[in-house]
Structure 1
Amino acid sequence: MERVLIADDHPLVRDGLRTVISVAFDQADLFEASSVAEAVEIVDREGDFDLVLLDLNMPDARGFSGLTLLRERFPALPIVMVSAELDGHVVNAAISNGAAGFIPKSLKRSQIVAAIQSILAGNVYIPEDYGPPSIAAAEMDELRRRVATLTPQQRVVLKLVVAGKLNKQIAHELDVSMTTVKAHVSAILAKLNVYSRTQAVILANKIGFEAA
């Protein structure tokens, strides 16, 4: 069962997304929020969610401040920006700020479902005609700065994650508990400002990460 939070200040948009998701995922457990503050309250109260669909323009947020707040509070939570605004700079900025994808409100129902399925599978969704954002020198420096904040043990764990090791395998190899590995992975995601192991691996590969 997927647990999905729809955060949008327009009831009609929430109703539309709720209908699309409930039809495509008939066992989905759906929640709704009309503001970023309400979204934070719901996640705090309800615990883990498989996905948060967050409107770009919320009444209590400016720009990507809502996304940033949720990413800081819940670093492992997949948050997808949903917007009527489809601009290359906005799409790239959303992904750069840690979004798990960008879904235009103009997409057909089948395309929205396909996008959600892709994100739930651990991928980052970007609309067609909007390829992966190019990485400028300044952004590369920022990515390296984030990696530099990792502790030596976190760097070792990230290297094993990049190598495709599961938490159980990492725990065995490092002779530590699963709880310790999970704590390291959560800290790595938070420091790299990504929501999933897949994104962490992509980022690490982009900068040619080495544990040493």
Structure 2
Amino acid sequence: MRILLADDHSLFREGLLHVLKELGTEPDVVQAADYPGALEVAERNPDLDLALLDLNMPGLDGLTGVRTFRGRFPLIPVIVLSASESPEDVRQALEAGVLGYIPKSSTAQVMLSAIKLVLAGGVYLPTLLLAHEGVTQASPPPRQTSVTGRRGTRGLTERQLQVLALLAEGKPNKVIARTLDITEGTVKIHLAAIFQTLGVRNRTEAVIAAQEMDLAPYRLTG
């Protein structure tokens, strides 16, 4: 496993290196101290499994750096690391295509769990954003789960049920956002909460679960 760690503070990089050693299989970590360096390292390492990017680094301005990296390397999963705990920064990062946003105030265990979640194909959202958006923080899904025989709404909020109903109709995030008059970043927040609540790993499993639930009152399209 190869991970890019880009942050302009060497002390933070050193600390996170110790966290990454706890992933199980010790990863090969390549480092950069600014956005130009991160882009260069990613160019030299096309087999990267994950990029951990500080939101504010020299070379490019904040989210411009994230968008530039995502534009050049769309297949590399990205987690943003940031001292900012602004819900707006989190939403904009999600809309730029990142799969996780980890505040630097997080504990080492939270960082490790977030990284493992993204490597497993999930999306990590900080608690501060879930609370701000009114999204239910669900317990982590069990290691093995089956959607067979599920009934009812499983404790989802009304907004999450609306998102799930549109997802079951095959609507992409952009259409769901437009239909519900919310941002694509907020759609991703709700989807992450839905996946956790239903104990599923992806959109396909969520649709299968939705088919076993009575979502008729929440279907907004004809």
Q: For residues 92-117 of structure 1, give each alpha carbon's deviation from its aligned partner in whole angstroms, at most 9, with x where no partner exists.
A: 11111111110011111111110000
Report the alpha carbon displacement of residue 162 of structure 1 after superposing the two structures with TM: 6.4
CA distance in 2, matches of 1:129, 1:75: 27
* Matching of residue 92 in structure 1 with residue 118 in structure 2: no
Aligned to 2:118: 119
Report the alpha carbon displacement of residue 129 of structure 1 after superposing the two structures with TM: 3.5
Aligned to 1:77: 76
Q: For residues 149-205 of structure 1, give each alpha carbon's deviation from its aligned partner in whole angstroms, at most 9, with x where no partner exists.
A: xxxxxxxxxxxx9657xxxxxxxxxxxxxxxxxxxxxxxxxxxxxxxxxxxxxxxxx
CA distance in 1, matches of 2:88, 2:5: 24
Aligned to 1:51: 50
* Matching of residue 19 in structure 1 with residue 21 in structure 2: no
Report the alpha carbon displacement of residue 44 of structure 1 after superposing the two structures with TM: 1.0
Task: Tell me the amino acid that sits aligned with residue 64 of structure 1.
Answer: L
Aligned to 1:130: 129
CA distance in 1, matches of 2:98, 2:20: 19
Report the alpha carbon displacement of residue 35 of structure 1 after superposing the two structures with TM: 1.0
Q: Is the 8 A contact 2:20 2:26 kept in 1?
A: no
Q: Specify every segment of 5 or more residues in structure 2 that has no aligned partner in the other structure, as ranges.
A: 135-176, 188-201, 206-219
Q: Is the 8 A contact 1:92 1:133 kept in 2?
A: no
Relative to structure 1, the CA distance from residue 162 to residue 104 in structure 2 (aligned partners, 3 Å threshold; closer, same or farther) is closer
CA distance in 1, matches of 2:98, 2:118: 10
Q: Specify every segment of 5 or more residues in structure 1 that has no aligned partner in the other structure, as ranges.
A: 144-160, 165-207
With the length of structure 2 as denominator, give the TM-score of the two structures: 0.59
CA distance in 2, matches of 1:57, 1:121: 26
CA distance in 2, matches of 1:138, 1:117: 28
Relative to structure 1, the CA distance from residue 48 to residue 124 in structure 2 (aligned partners, 3 Å threshold; closer, same or farther) is same
Report the alpha carbon displacement of residue 48 of structure 1 after superposing the two structures with TM: 1.9
SS of residue matched to 2:4: strand
Q: Is the 8 A contact 2:5 2:13 kept in 1?
A: yes
CA distance in 2, matches of 1:8, 1:113: 17
Report the alpha carbon displacement of residue 47 of structure 1 after superposing the two structures with TM: 1.3
Relative to structure 1, the CA distance from residue 162 to residue 107 in structure 2 (aligned partners, 3 Å threshold; closer, same or farther) is closer
Relative to structure 1, the CA distance from residue 20 to residue 162 in structure 2 (aligned partners, 3 Å threshold; closer, same or farther) is closer
Report the alpha carbon displacement of residue 63 of structure 1 after superposing the two structures with TM: 2.4
Matches within 5 A, 1:158-197: none
Q: Is the 8 A contact 1:103 1:112 kept in 2?
A: yes
Report the alpha carbon displacement of residue 126 of structure 1 after superposing the two structures with TM: 0.5
CA distance in 2, matches of 1:163, 1:124: 15
Q: Is the 8 A contact 2:81 2:101 kept in 1?
A: yes
Identity %: 35
SS of residue matched to 1:53: strand
SS of residue matched to 2:5: strand
Q: For residues 113-167 of structure 1, give each alpha carbon's deviation from its aligned partner in whole angstroms, at most 9, with x where no partner exists.
A: 1000000011111111422969473746xx9xxxxxxxxxxxxxxxxx9657xxx
Q: Is the 8 A contact 2:23 2:116 kept in 1?
A: no
Q: For residues 12-67 of structure 1, give each alpha carbon's deviation from its aligned partner in whole angstroms, at most 9, with x where no partner exists.
A: 11111111102334421111001111111111112121111100111111120111
Q: Is the 8 A contact 2:101 2:126 kept in 1?
A: yes
Q: Is the 8 A contact 2:101 2:125 kept in 1?
A: yes
Q: Is the 8 A contact 2:99 2:118 kept in 1?
A: yes
CA distance in 1, matches of 2:9, 2:65: 16
